A and B are shown apart, each in its own frame.
Chain A
Amino acid sequence: AQKVTQAQTEISVVEKEDVTLDCVYETRDTTYYLFWYKQPPSGELVFLIRRNSFDEQNEISGRYSWNFQKSTSSFNFTITASQVVDSAVYFCALSEAQAGTALIFGKGTTLSVSS
């Protein structure tokens, strides 16, 4: 069975600190996809990144970076120099490489960035 674990329920940091959100997944599939979504206080779900299981290259997008390690089944997300606008719930998700398959979400990590 597929499962996503986000062990950090809540994280509080001060602006400009770096913060890493952990994500550990379980799957028996050899091909799968990993995602991160952001849910700001306004409530919408914003797509951040999608990663194919065959591509373990780390990715950087501005202040955001992602570290994918198949050996530890982890897909961690780091925000560098955090800002108040980064305050949100962040969800890690997993899906199989099949038609119509659903996202399996972790329980989310609430990030609070104070000024």
Chain B
Amino acid sequence: DTAVSQTPKYLVTQMGNDKSIKCEQNLGHDTMYWYKQDSKKFLKIMFSYNNKELIINETVPNRFSPKSPDKAHLNLHINSLELGDSAVYFCASSQRGWGGAEETQYFGPGTRLLVL
């Protein structure tokens, strides 16, 4: 009965490879997010989607492409992986509240990506 789940939990890969991280939420939320946590623990938004529509697209290399097949899923595909992509990637979801503001964001367990 996990609320926000991510797969895989760990991902070790070579430079230049293409990889995907999957995220699913069973909370019935409308909005989903991808955040990146760097080696210094700093958390920064990458993307947000509401009902499969892209809302936020921060300054992220084009090699990163989010895909939302339905409002319960938001996957992250990364092309041509680079050493600097090594980080922890967190998926989150929230419910859009009355008045349009987002309510609390709940996070998945994170995916630890290591690019060699």
Main secondary structure of the interface of B (DSSP, over half): strand
* Chain B residues with CB below 8 A from A95, complex form: 102
Main secondary structure of the interface of A (DSSP, over half): loop
Q: Do B110 and A100 touch across chains, with their CB atoms under 8 A apart? A: no
In this complex, the interface size class of chain A, counting residues with CB under 8 Å from chain B, is 20 to 34
* Chain B residues with CB below 8 A from A103, complex form: 35, 43, 45, 105
Q: Do B50 and A91 touch across chains, with their CB atoms under 8 A apart? A: no
Count contacts between A and B, CB distance < 8 Å. 71
Q: Within the assembled complex, what's the spacing in Å between the Cα atoms of A105 and B33?
A: 14
Q: Do A97 and B43 touch across chains, with their CB atoms under 8 A apart? A: no
1/0 per residue A23-50: CB within 8 Å of B? 0000000010101010100011101001
Q: Do A102 and B101 touch across chains, with their CB atoms under 8 A apart? A: no
Beta-carbon contacts under 8 Å, B47-64 to A: 48-50, 55-56, 58
Q: Do B99 and A100 touch across chains, with their CB atoms under 8 A apart? A: no
Q: Within the assembled complex, what's the spacing in Å between the Cα atoms of A44 and B110?
A: 7
Q: Do A99 and B107 touch across chains, with their CB atoms under 8 A apart? A: no
Q: Do A98 and B100 touch across chains, with their CB atoms under 8 A apart? A: yes
Chain B interface residues (CB < 8 Å from chain A): 31, 33, 35, 40-45, 48-50, 55-56, 58, 88, 90, 92, 96, 99-107, 109-110, 112
A-B contact pairs, 16 of them (CB 8 A): A35-B104, A44-B110, A45-B92, A45-B110, A47-B105, A50-B103, A97-B100, A99-B50, A100-B31, A100-B48, A100-B49, A100-B50, A100-B56, A102-B35, A102-B56, A108-B42
